[in-house]
A and B are shown apart, each in its own frame.
Chain A
Amino acid sequence: MEQDIVLTMRNIDKNFPGVKALQNVDFTLRRGEIHALMGENGAGKSTLIKVLTGVEEFETGEIKIEGIDHPIINKSPQEAQIHGISTVYQEVNLCPNLSVAENLFIGREPKKGGMIDWRTMNKKSKALLEGLDIHIDVTAALENYSLALQQMIAIARAVDMSAKVLILDEPTSSLDDGEVEKLFHLMNRLKEQGVGIIFVTHFLEQVYAVCDRITVLRNGTLVGEYKIEDLPRVQLVAKMMGKDFDDLAAIKKEGASSVKDEVIIDARQLGHKGTIKPFDLKINKGEVIGLTGLLGSGRSELARSIYGADKPDSGELYVKGSKFHANTPLDAMMQGMAYLPEDRKAEGIIADLSVRENIIIALQAKRGMFKLLSKKEQEEFTDKYIDLLQIKTADRETPIKQLSGGNQQKVILGRWLLTNPDFLILDEPTRGIDIGTKTEIQKLVLQLADEGMSVMFISSEIEEMLRTCSRMAVLRDGSKVGELKEEELSQDSIMKAIAGGAN
């Protein structure tokens, strides 16, 4: 082992039923470096972290850590911690009701005569935090401090317990710029102390602001390890998306444009604090507008603020020319909007209800409680969409939870098409779905636009977007940073826009 290497992972393999989550992945972390682990959805970042921290087992390969001369296998996060590997997640895993000092020392409190020695604990905590340039009252409850400070306290706890390898898993997702700055300060401080930090994030700016090295994964395989100065942003995006930067062969859409002049949606400085900064966006009738950007760039959040799923707290929204104020999603539905959410399981399906009920429920909600659709209408509608979308289900009364992911998604799609919307938001409609269904959904989107529906399409796959969208809005780090007109659409331009920055 080289002198300054703290962690090596070699030839790691990990399979989930039907999926090769990690194949032959190598990873090396050096002392006193901040190392970004990058990759889009399904690339295997989180699986690699889980394998390293003992949340998941791996099949083959070996993990070595400095100071232990044989390969280690962690069976639990506690064991990983004993080996010197700590993790801090996006969600702060501390107790908000306890004091800062307690959160730092719970489970290993200093004692005097069998009783917890609060004075020593507070003193030690103060010293520990001051060593990291954090000057706060350690006796106050954790919940009194901002998320960023809580995050830093979590890091302080992790580092104090074992200081070789620190994994930061999307720690900045809910922080504002100033807070991120403070976090970086702390990271650099730890770096000087010789801690190896693995930094997982979706924000490119942050990678280039603080990291020394980048490892890119894609589809469970290693793409490569690069020094930050050797990998310009556009190259990084290309590597993450699996497209060669020079490959300009874009797939053009056929036929005449279906876009009409009539404006359906007109957002003026609409925003939702903490998720999406104020943005302007106009959407015409019959248009398919794509939202692109990396995961966590604010794509879904923009859509949600229009639909009223997260009530916007600034700006104005005009629907078909008149001002619209959404209090609940139902109001948006009455205006002709429909929203297929990103998280199918948590926000889409109503698991125990039948396919029939899942399809008609939105239309029913629009009609009101007392105007129940007759059994016959319900069955007709259901059969129509089972047929039209080729939903594979044993029966229309089968609980939706028994269907495959792709078929569940089609049911949700059917639910919204049944409400005959003017404006349909599709947030990652093709994620986790087989190729055949993907193509069907893409075709359907184009057909709907032809018929005059406006569609907002959100996807992580550029090709899919190129095939369907006539215009794209680009998002980065929680704000809308630009738009690409139809003639400007190409993989090259999109990736450049996503990457942003000077290069």
Chain B
Amino acid sequence: MGNKKMKSKKNIDGNAFLLLITIVLFFAMYIIGVIAFHQQGFGKTQNFLNLFISNAGLIVIAAGMTVVMITGGIDISVGSVVALTCMMLAWMMENKGMGAIPAAVIVLVMGLVFGFVQGWLVAYLKLQPFIVTLAGMFFARGMTAIISQDMISIKNEMFLSWAKYKIYLPFGGYVNRKGVMIYPYIYPSVIIALLVLVVVFIMLKYTKFGRSIYAVGGNEQSALLMGLNVRKTKLKAYILAGFLTGLGGFLFCLNTCSGFVEQAKGFEMDAIASAVIGGTLLTGGVGNVFGSLFGVLIKGTIEAFITFQGTLSSWWTKITIAALLCFFIILQSIFASAKAKKKK
């Protein structure tokens, strides 16, 4: 029996191993960046914090994506929904003269409703999640264009004050040439994003709903036989993801302060890739929001590389992310087939 115990420890397992690769990859990349771009100041604390600042929205959306993917589904509408969110915020505040708070509440509700409709189609009509969210993706993008085909910049004072409110950290500072102590800072969006991560993490680990999500993704048939409500669980997962996409879109908008049709194109890829790179299985049942955080950070680091390097076009980010996604998907596939073989 002692032998058996050893075996199970050793087996923890393909999935954890994948996550480990991700974490190591991130730190390796970051260290390479610090060495290669030493002169330009890659190693500054602020540069590290910028990873969080520029990706706060993505962190939130990737968390929602992780939840949906654990149930065995997927949501490729998120990029378009972010565009729609930004456009609605900009339009409501600039063209309709609405206040920042009601506008924010409306987009959050919009995300929730969007998630509900998609979730209902997936859970109750049993349509393929991919087809449903593909249609959702085109629907949201089209709606953005219907609201306005021109770019709207946000000038609402309250909104801009949210966007520019710096929170200085009491440590990690340095003294600049003029002899002034400069402390690194973050925006409120970073705190919101990290808060969301913690809440979703607790929800997944310590609530009945959270565990049902894993059970449904692990084996739907079994979950049903064990007395769980599979449909309701899926619906709730999509609603949660929809809400988080709305919230993520809001945070995204705090960075860009504008709304336009082409915004956040390919964002779904960033979110899916972050989740997959962070150890979420495409087949469902396995995943962790903190893993997805590392996925996001890797994407941010690649972006930072390209900015610091200066001559490479931004398209390289997309291609590298796609290549990484491809690499991790293939790894997952190989692990899965190896596991199946071992079973036999």
Contact = CB atoms under 8 A, between A and B. Distances in A.
Contact of B8 (A92, A106, A136): A136
Contact of A95 (B11, B207, B208, B219): B219
B96 interface: no
B125 interface: no
A106 B206 contact: no
A98 B211 contact: yes
A274 B343 CA distance: 10
Interface of B: 1, 4-5, 7-9, 11-13, 202, 205-208, 211-212, 214-215, 217-219, 221-223, 225-228, 285-286, 339, 343-344
Interface in A12-60: none
Given A116-B206, A116-B208, A136-B5, A96 B225 contact: no
Contacts of B7: 144
B77 to A, nearest CB: 26
Contact of A97 (B202, B206, B217): B217
A137 B9 contact: yes
Given A77-B225, A136-B5, A273-B344, A98 B218 contact: yes
Contacts of A141: 12-13
Contacts of B227: 78, 107
Given A107-B227, A107-B228, A98 B215 contact: yes
Given A106-B211, A106-B228, A140-B8, A94 B206 contact: no
B340 to A, nearest CB: 11
A102 B214 CA distance: 11
Contacts of B214: 95, 97-98
A70 interface: no
13 contacts: A95-B218, A95-B219, A95-B223, A97-B214, A97-B217, A97-B219, A97-B286, A109-B211, A135-B1, A137-B5, A137-B8, A144-B11, A144-B12
A94 B226 CA distance: 8
A14 B173 CA distance: 80
A118 B208 CA distance: 12
A116 B8 contact: no
A106 B218 CA distance: 13
Contacts of A116: 205-208, 211
Which residue of A96, A145, A273 has the most chain B CB atoms within 10 A of its CB atom?
A96
Given A93-B226, A116-B205, 11 more contacts: A78-B227, A93-B225, A94-B219, A94-B226, A95-B223, A98-B218, A106-B212, A107-B226, A144-B12, A273-B344, A274-B344
Nearest to A92: B222
Nearest to A87: B225
A274 B218 CA distance: 24
Nearest to B283: A97
A137 B4 CA distance: 9
Contacts of B206: 115-116, 118
Contacts of A115: 202, 206-207
B211 A145 contact: no
A116 B223 CA distance: 18
Interface string A116-131: 1010000000000000
Nearest to B225: A93
A137 B5 CA distance: 6
Interface of A: 77-78, 92-98, 102, 106-107, 109, 114-116, 118, 135-137, 140-141, 143-145, 147, 273-274
Nearest to B16: A141
Contacts of B4: 136, 145
Nearest to A95: B218
A102 B211 contact: yes
A309 to B, nearest CB: 15
A444 B343 CA distance: 41
B12 A95 contact: no
Which residue of A114, A116, A141, A273 has the most chain B CB atoms within 10 A of its CB atom?
A141
B228 to A, nearest CB: 6
A273 B339 CA distance: 16
B51 to A, nearest CB: 30
Contact of B218 (A97, A136, A273): A97
A93 B227 CA distance: 11
Which residue of B1, B7, B218 has the most chain A CB atoms within 10 A of its CB atom?
B218
B215 A106 contact: yes
Contacts of B343: 147
B8 A94 contact: no
Contacts of B212: 106
B11 A93 contact: no
A77 B217 CA distance: 22
A495 to B, nearest CB: 33
B285 A97 contact: yes
A1 to B, nearest CB: 29
Contacts of B344: 273-274
Those 8 A-B pairs whose CB atoms lie nearest each other, nearest first? A95-B218, A97-B285, A97-B218, A115-B206, A140-B8, A93-B222, A144-B8, A144-B11
Nearest to B4: A136
A52 to B, nearest CB: 16
B97 to A, nearest CB: 43
Nearest to B1: A135
A78 B223 CA distance: 13
B5 to A, nearest CB: 5
Nearest to B12: A140
A109 B208 contact: yes
A453 B12 CA distance: 53
A32 B184 CA distance: 71
A289 to B, nearest CB: 28
Contacts of A77: 225
B226 A106 contact: yes
Contact of B221 (A93, A102, A118, A147): A93
B280 to A, nearest CB: 12
Contacts of A274: 344
A403 B5 CA distance: 54
Nearest to B339: A143
B332 to A, nearest CB: 13
A144 B13 contact: yes
B110 to A, nearest CB: 30
B331 to A, nearest CB: 18
B90 to A, nearest CB: 39
Nearest to B202: A115
A137 B1 CA distance: 10
Contacts of A97: 214, 217-219, 285-286
B13 to A, nearest CB: 7
A496 B120 CA distance: 59
Contacts of B11: 140, 144
